[in-house]
């Protein structure tokens, strides 16, 4: 799985961090999402898919 | 088209008025007429107070799609915007009623305090506020009104601390907030209340410009000093954050407690658990099940949009009725059952799209702490009146209870 985030679209909801804290983080200064791991292991795939599904700005794209 | 008129020359009675009334005795469920509209189709028409007939979007998938669609505007001044009540120009409350890029420019100035880490760091302070309010309840007389003793002061104390607003002024800002979200307030009353709050915030900003502290308003004054933000924009933002920070959470605490008292099995599960995950899922389920923003999310189409076999025209109004969206059986099986063990994290109680509630991480934290503390410390908590006697907020843009008499 490859994870891509569109930081221009991100609205800093942090829901990706709640869903998959090993893969997503937030910038301290404005909460915009940053990737910790663009190629997460299989056991984190379900959490990452959930993160993409709840992202209100549709800023997370997955290549499976 | 004369073919759509009946012999009396009137439009057929197919377009119902919105908002609709809840059923007597079912204070937690959306109006039955809203359920009927959902069964009719994902997009149907309703009639508003001013005679306009916007689209009512009742299903979860279409609501999410449209709320995330950049061809849909949140600007209250756009033609076709389905306003819940008469408005005048000065009724605009900061970025929630703006589109990008203005919306994004202003919103990003206040996102930092709402990152998951920053909000999580507030946990001990919020826990202390909750514990102290419960201590006061236990030391005082009973029965007590849970709204006044706990549900309203809890989030108000937190947002005052975050913003740097003196809590001593809470009577003033809560009275004005009430007017702003009251459905039957006149445009003049609403505008006057907004003016009062904006003036108050402007004064506070003035003080913080010379005497900054460690709070959100003080950080906004730094933006004012470098010319990124006008003082008026900052005051409007302060009004928005202050209102949004206490009204919504307060209603979730009181209405959520009432719902749990009416579902004792669910309440017992929550009270007796040590599992943080169950507390978290209970909060999500109560947000889904109760849905306190019962007037829907309002938008106007900027372009023609085709969705679910319907053509929405540019200039058409849209109401995303999230309360019934959160009861869509396609998204939540057996949707009318309160089940704190289900996975309800994908609900739309905080909206969706770029306007999703900015304060939702804080609201979630507050509710997790309240729901995991209140019932454990007051294990015999019960209503001190009959359900029929509870006054519900049918007349506001935020649903909840005006009072909740409880004892233990």
Give the residue-averaged pLDDT of B198-211: 95
Give the pLDDT of residue B13: 58
Q: Measured between beta carbons, which residues in chain B are less than 8 angstroms from residue A50?
A: 345
Give the pLDDT of residue B303: 97
Give the pLDDT of residue B2: 34
Strands of the sheet containing B55-57, edge to edge, are: B43-45, B55-57, B317-320, B297-301, B72-73
Give the pLDDT of residue B182: 77
Taking the CA of residue A62 and the nearest CA in chain B, the distance in Å comes to 18
Q: Which of A18-22, B7-11, B388-392 has the lowest mean pLDDT?
A: B7-11
B331 and B65 in contact (C-beta within 8 Å)? no
Q: Encode pLDDT of B346-366 as tens digits.
A: 999 999 999 999 999 999 999
Q: Encode pLDDT of B63-116 as tens digits.
A: 999 999 999 999 988 989 998 887 765 556 788 889 999 999 999 999 999 999
B235 and B201 in contact (C-beta within 8 Å)? yes
Q: Measured between beta carbons, which residues in chain A are less than 8 angstroms from residue B112?
A: 28-31
- Which of these, B82, B23, B84, B52, lies nearest to B397 by C-alpha position? B84
Q: Which domains, from first to last, does chain A contain?
A: 2-63 (3.30.70.20)
Give the pLDDT of residue B351: 96
CB-based contact (8 Å) between B120 and chain A?
A: no
Give the pLDDT of residue B5: 42
B47-83 b/e with 16+ CB inside 10 Å = b? ebeeeeebbbbbbbebbbbbbbbeebbbebebebbbb
Contact B112 A13 (CB under 8 A): no
Residue extents of the structural domains in chain B:
32-407
Interfacial A residues in 13-52 facing B (CB < 8 Å):
13-14, 17-19, 26, 28-32, 50
Q: Encode pLDDT of B9-19 as tens digits.
A: 344 557 999 99
Checking if the pLDDT of B383 tops 60, the result is yes
- What is chain B's mean pLDDT, rounded? 92
Model-level pTM?
0.93
For domain B32-407, give its CATH number from 1.20.1250.20, 1.10.630.10, 3.30.390.10, 1.10.3720.10: 1.10.630.10
Taking the CA of residue A39 and the nearest CA in chain B, the distance in Å comes to 22
Q: Encode pLDDT of B18-66 as tens digits.
A: 999 999 999 999 999 999 999 999 999 999 999 999 999 999 999 999 9
Contact B115 A56 (CB under 8 A): no
The Cα–Cα gap between B276 and B372 comes to 8
Nearest to A13 among B67, B345, B360 (CB): B360
Give the residue-averaged pLDDT of B177-186: 81
Give the pLDDT of residue B89: 59
DSSP β-bridge partners for residue B134: none
CB-based contact (8 Å) between B125 and chain A?
A: no
């Amino acid at each position: 799985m490859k994870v891509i985030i569109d930081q221009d679209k991100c609205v800093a909801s942090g829901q990706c961090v709640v869903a998959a804290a090993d893969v997503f983080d937030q910038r301290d200064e404005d909460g915009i999402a940053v990737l910790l791991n663009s190629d997460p292991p299989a056991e984190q795939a379900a959490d990452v898919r959930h993160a993409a599904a709840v992202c209100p700005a549709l800023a997370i794209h997955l290549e499976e | 088209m004369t073919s759509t008129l009946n012999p009396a020359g009137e439009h057929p009675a197919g377009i119902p008025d919105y908002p609709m009334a809840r059923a007597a005795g079912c204070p937690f469920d959306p109006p039955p007429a809203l359920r009927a509209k959902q069964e009719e189709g994902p997009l149907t028409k309703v009639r508003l107070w001013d005679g306009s007939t916007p689209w009512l979007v009742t299903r979860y998938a279409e609501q999410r799609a449209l709320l995330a669609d950049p061809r849909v505007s949140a600007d209250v001044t756009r033609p076709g915007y389905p306003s819940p009540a008469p408005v005048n120009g000065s009724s605009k409350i900061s970025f929630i009623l703006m589109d990008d890029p203005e919306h994004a420019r202003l919103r990003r100035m206040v996102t930092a305090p709402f990152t998951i880490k920053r909000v999580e760091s507030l946990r001990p302070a919020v826990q202390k506020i909750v514990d102290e309010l419960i201590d006061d309840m236990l030391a005082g007389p009973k029965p007590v009104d849970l709204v006044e003793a706990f549900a309203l002061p809890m989030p108000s104390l937190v947002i005052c601390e975050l913003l740097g607003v003196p809590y001593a002024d809470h009577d003033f800002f809560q009275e004005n907030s009430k007017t702003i979200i009251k459905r039957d307030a006149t445009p003049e009353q609403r505008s006057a209340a907004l003016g009062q709050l904006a003036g108050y915030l402007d004064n506070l900003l003035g003080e913080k410009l010379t005497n900054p502290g460690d709070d959100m308003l003080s950080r906004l004054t730094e933006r004012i000093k470098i010319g990124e933000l006008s003082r008026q924009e900052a005051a409007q933002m302060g009004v928005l954050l202050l209102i949004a920070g206490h009204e919504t959470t307060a209603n979730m605490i009181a209405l959520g407690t009432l719902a749990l008292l009416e579902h004792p099995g669910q309440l017992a599960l929550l009270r007796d658990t040590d599992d943080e995950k169950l507390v978290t899922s209970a909060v999500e389920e109560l947000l889904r099940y109760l849905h306190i923003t019962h007037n829907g999310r309002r938008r106007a189409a900027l372009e023609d949009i085709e969705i679910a076999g319907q053509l929405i025209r540019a200039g058409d109004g849209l109401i995303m009725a999230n309360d019934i969206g959160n009861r869509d059986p396609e998204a939540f099986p057996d949707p009318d059952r309160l089940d704190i063990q289900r996975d309800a994290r994908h609900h739309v109680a905080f909206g969706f799209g770029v306007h999703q509630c900015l304060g939702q991480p804080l609201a979630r934290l507050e509710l997790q702490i309240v729901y995991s503390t209140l019932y454990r410390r007051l294990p015999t908590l019960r209503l001190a009146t009959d359900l029929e006697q509870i006054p519900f907020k049918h007349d506001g843009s935020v649903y909840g209870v005006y009072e909740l008499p409880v004892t233990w």
